[in-house]
Amino acid sequence: MGTELRYLERLSELYPTIDSASTEIINLQSILNLPKGTEHFLSDIHGEYAAFSHVLRNGSGAVRKKIDDVFGHTLSQKDKRELAALIYYPTQKMDYVKSIEQDTENWYKIMLYRLIEICKVVSSKYTRSKVRKALPSAYAYVIEELITEKPEVLNRGAYFDGIVNTILEVGSAEKFIIAMAELIQRLVVDHLHVLGDIYDRGHGAHNIMDKLCKYHSLDIQWGNHDVTWMGAAAGNTACIANIIRNSVSYGNIDVLEDGYGINMIPLATFAISTYADDDCHCFAIKRVGRRSSDTSDNDLEMKMHKAITIIQFKLEGQLIAKYPEFNMDNRRLLHRIDFENGTVELDSGVYPMKDMSFPTIDPENPYELSEREKEVMEKLRAAFIRCEKLQRHTQLLMKKGSLYKVYNGNLLFHGCVPMNKDGSFREVNVDGKMYSGVKLYNILEANARKALMSLDKKERIRGGDILWYLWNGPDSPLFGRDKMTTFERYFIEDEKTHREEKNAYYDLINNEEIADKILSEFGLDETGHIINGHVPVHQSEGENPLKCGGKVIMIDGGFSKAYHKLTGIAGYTLTYNSYGLTLTAHEPFECAEEVIYNDKDIVSNQVAVQHAFNRILVGDTDNGKRIKENIAELKDLIKAYRRGTISEKI
């Protein structure tokens, strides 16, 4: 029996008759003619949970647009804002309304009718089966009745009134409002793309990951900050040291301690005793948008900051020596310190050090951890490996994540495609062979996955080391700079030494031939788009997020509070619906309370729109291609039935 016939035999188990196969073809064909669902693109969230959560709730303005589409001029702007706030935060909004409204039952009734109208519109672009799957099981039947048009009912007004009045009479109004608000949020966005850097800086990355674990449909393109957390979960000590240093430096130890339950006492105890008489002046704590802790806590955090930074430089020095092919010897700087003269020698010259208090560094063997440093790292490594929540979040990154994604004609990645200044793809040594372009992405991703998936201990260690390289390697597609000048920023006053040269990609990407070359390398044609984040777009300086006539879209506008002064905004998001692409710039998000109490939405400005000439249907998408293949296979099955090659299972 041939392979094709065996496949059709298997298919006949699902569709045992001509009628069942024909019915499925009709169903699939109807799906092809529906409008494509809305894709939502976010990047560089950096732990800003409140802003992330709100943008997710409002669909980057998609919810408000649906309200405008449905009600037009029949509702005032005030009423529209109130309805939007209810959809975003139904429980909190109703609690507030109950505290100020006397006739809450009438308010509930009005809102139920308005929510029903919104639900009808947002569900209209999906099959009834898909909508049914999105419905909360407890109220699925009633909600389906409310949002489904019933031409056979002569007095539809009375029919719906009867259902709504019954909901109010039995005291279920609040639960129904919550269910319908969440359904609207669920249906407004069909698929979410997160283009990397969920972690670090902000204090809510663990909450973001919890929310993503429950999200109905998403993919993640790893950012360089994300892969360090993946490496830490795999037990790579250099990644662990980097994570802790980042968390401490931004005053975010609570992410580790409260978010993931990782005990920082071993590091704190070591730091207090080792740097007791050191003011650690080079290790100030950044608290952007947050209140400073008291003096004693700040002093302890600065000591912890210094302690883990020195450990990091030692561990990184060991890795750089282990892998000369990483070409990172200029990041191995501890042995270049002149302890007598208080200077350090870089490739660009000799510079005075701002700090020369290094009680744990042996000048004869500067990259060796002291016994107490080893003890601290062993305890921290065990804590990261045993953290169930971190492992669960890492599994989501592995399952839904990748270095790049090709989706509906667009190429998605976090950083850059490493290139040379002449426009050629940079060749990088991995496992003793040279790789470039898409092959470089594929081999690096394959190695990275081994850190958490391989059964071979050596492969797991190697995979963890690759994750560290992806964080800050000069040819890492996630980092995109010639070096990470962490050492210089701590210890050298001269800011010239702090500079990090961006990969040639960021200049070349304005050239349409280069953009088309990259798209072709990843199997796309010139009609596609490159969508990436990583490098904040400085809108305040006039920088345009659209490159190469809109073929390349940079969507990192700075979710992180640390970037707001530089970028002038608080992040870009992108939506792609049946009408085309819309890029939106967001002002800083104040707080959910402003939305709930004052109906203030996040201020968003549409900065670019690319309209489709014809409305995009499911048949035009990647899923549409798969559906067409399924239809062709079902037609082959029907032919086999009719020829007698396969018998119907009547």
Q: How many CB atoms lie within 10 A of CB 149?
A: 9
Per residue in 43-70, pLDDT (tens digit) is 999 999 988 898 889 888 888 889 999 9
Whether residue 263 is found in the same domain as residue 329? yes
Q: DSSP letters along 543-608, please?
A: --SEEGGGTEEE-----SGGGHHHHSSS-EEEEEETTEEEEEEEPPP--HHHHHHH-PPPPEEEEE
Q: Which residues contact residue 268 at a Cβ distance below 8 angstroms, ignoring those fewer than 6 apart? A: 300, 304
Would the pLDDT of 315 be above 80?
Answer: yes
Give a yes or no: residue 147 inside a domain. Answer: yes
* Spatial CA neighbour of 574 closest among 541, 610, 540, 549: 610
Q: If pLDDT is split at 50, 70 and 90, which confidence band does 557 have? A: low
Residue 430's DSSP bridge partners are 433
Per residue in 396-418, pLDDT (tens digit) is 999 999 999 999 999 999 999 99
pTM, two decimals, is: 0.92
Angle between helices 77-88 and 90-100 (to 10 degrees): 120
Question: For position 154, what pLDDT does the model report?
Answer: 47
CA dihedral 141, 145, 151, 157 (to 10 degrees): 150
Would the pLDDT of 292 be above 60?
Answer: no
Rg (CA), the chain: 28
The two three-digit tokens of residue 418, written as one number: 């490493």
Whether residue 171 is found in the same domain as residue 235? no
Whether residue 127 is found in the same domain as residue 244? no
Give a yes or no: residue 523 inside a domain. Answer: no
Mean pLDDT on 337-349? 95
Would the pLDDT of 603 be above 70?
Answer: no
Give the whole-angstrom CA distance, residue 635 versus residue 609: 40
C-alpha distances out from residue 137 to 140, 141, 142, 170, 618, Å:
5, 8, 10, 18, 27
Give a yes or no: residue 280 inside a domain. Answer: yes
Place of tokens 């048949």: 619
Per residue in 624-639, pLDDT (tens digit) is 999 999 999 999 999 9
Q: How many structural domains are present in the chain?
A: 3
Tell me which residue range forms the domain holding 25: 3-33+622-643
The two three-digit tokens of residue 4, written as one number: 């094709």
**CA 281 from centre of chain:** 35
* Spatial CA neighbour of 383 closest among 264, 243, 270: 264
Give the whole-angstrom CA distance, residue 25 versus residue 2: 24
Whether residue 250 is found in the same domain as residue 325? yes
Question: For position 202, what pLDDT does the model report?
Answer: 84
SS3 category, 332: coil
Per residue in 111-142, pLDDT (tens digit) is 888 998 999 888 888 888 888 888 888 778 87
Whether residue 98 is found in the same domain as residue 29? no
Give the whole-angstrom CA distance, residue 382 versus residue 387: 8
Give the whole-angstrom CA distance, residue 417 versus residue 539: 23
Per residue in 443-468, pLDDT (tens digit) is 999 999 999 999 999 999 999 999 99
The rounded mean pLDDT for the chain is 90
| End-to-end CA gap in the chain | 23
Give a yes or no: residue 113 inside a domain. Answer: yes
The phi, psi pair for 612, rounded to 5°, reads -80, 140
Mean pLDDT on 344-367? 96
Question: For position 560, what pLDDT does the model report?
Answer: 62
Q: If pLDDT is split at 50, 70 and 90, which confidence band does 88 have? A: very high
Question: For position 590, what pLDDT does the model report?
Answer: 74
Residue 433's DSSP bridge partners are 430
Give a yes or no: residue 397 inside a domain. Answer: no
Give the whole-angstrom CA distance, residue 506 versus residue 547: 10
C-alpha distances out from residue 465 to 261, 293, 322, 399, Å:
25, 35, 10, 20
Give the whole-angstrom CA distance, residue 266 versus residue 247: 16
Give a yes or no: residue 499 inside a domain. Answer: no
Q: What is the 3-state secondary structure (H, E, C) of 511-546?
A: CHHHHHHHHHHCCCCCCCEEEECCCCCCHHHCCCCE
Whether the Cβ atoms of residue 647 and residue 617 lie closer than 8 Å to each other: no
Exposure string over 526-544, b if 16+ CB within 10 A, otherwise e: eebbbbbbbbbbbbeeeee
Query: Please, how many CA atoms are within 13 Å of residue 111, restricted to the half-sphere of its CB?
Result: 29
Give a yes or no: residue 388 inside a domain. Answer: no
Whether residue 286 is found in the same domain as residue 314? yes
Give the whole-angstrom CA distance, residue 394 versus residue 390: 6
Per residue in 473-489, pLDDT (tens digit) is 999 999 999 999 999 99
DSSP letter at 422?
T
Q: Regarding predicted confidence, which is higher, 592 or 428?
A: 428
SS3 category, 113: helix
Give the whole-angstrom CA distance, residue 466 versus residue 472: 10
Would the pLDDT of 291 be above 60?
Answer: no
Whether residue 171 is found in the same domain as residue 48? yes
Whether residue 259 is found in the same domain as residue 164? no
Place of tokens 């809510």: 204
Give the whole-angstrom CA distance, residue 283 versus residue 338: 21
Whether residue 96 is found in the same domain as residue 62? yes
Would the pLDDT of 537 be above 90?
Answer: no
Question: For position 139, what pLDDT does the model report?
Answer: 77
Give a yes or no: residue 405 inside a domain. Answer: no
Question: For position 618, what pLDDT does the model report?
Answer: 93
Whether residue 550 is found in the same domain as residue 457? no
The two three-digit tokens of residue 513, written as one number: 């031939």
β 529-532/410-413 pair status: parallel
**What percent of the chain lies above the pLDDT cut of 70?**
93
Whether residue 298 is found in the same domain as residue 363? yes
Exposure string over 375-408, b if 16+ CB within 10 A, otherwise e: ebbeebeebbeebeebeebbbbbbebbbbbbbbb
Residue type, 524: L
Give the whole-angstrom CA distance, residue 111 versus residue 94: 11
Question: For position 429, what pLDDT does the model report?
Answer: 96
Whether residue 541 is found in the same domain as residue 481? no
Would the pLDDT of 187 be above 70?
Answer: yes
Q: Which residues contact residue 297 at a Cβ distance below 8 angstroms, ignoring those fewer than 6 apart? A: none
**What percent of the chain lies above the pLDDT cut of 90?**
67
Would the pLDDT of 205 be above 90?
Answer: yes
Would the pLDDT of 241 be above 80?
Answer: yes
Q: CA quadruple 600, 605, 609, 611: dihedral positive or negative?
A: positive
Mean pLDDT on 231-258? 96
Q: If pLDDT is split at 50, 70 and 90, which confidence band does 191 have? A: very high
The phi, psi pair for 607, rounded to 5°, reads -105, -15
Residue 39's DSSP bridge partners are 191, 576
Give the whole-angstrom CA distance, residue 392 versus residue 400: 12
DSSP letter at 503?
P
Per residue in 161-181, pLDDT (tens digit) is 788 888 888 888 888 899 999
Give the helix ranges, DSSP H, for 214-360: 224-233, 237-249, 253-254, 260, 265-274, 295-322
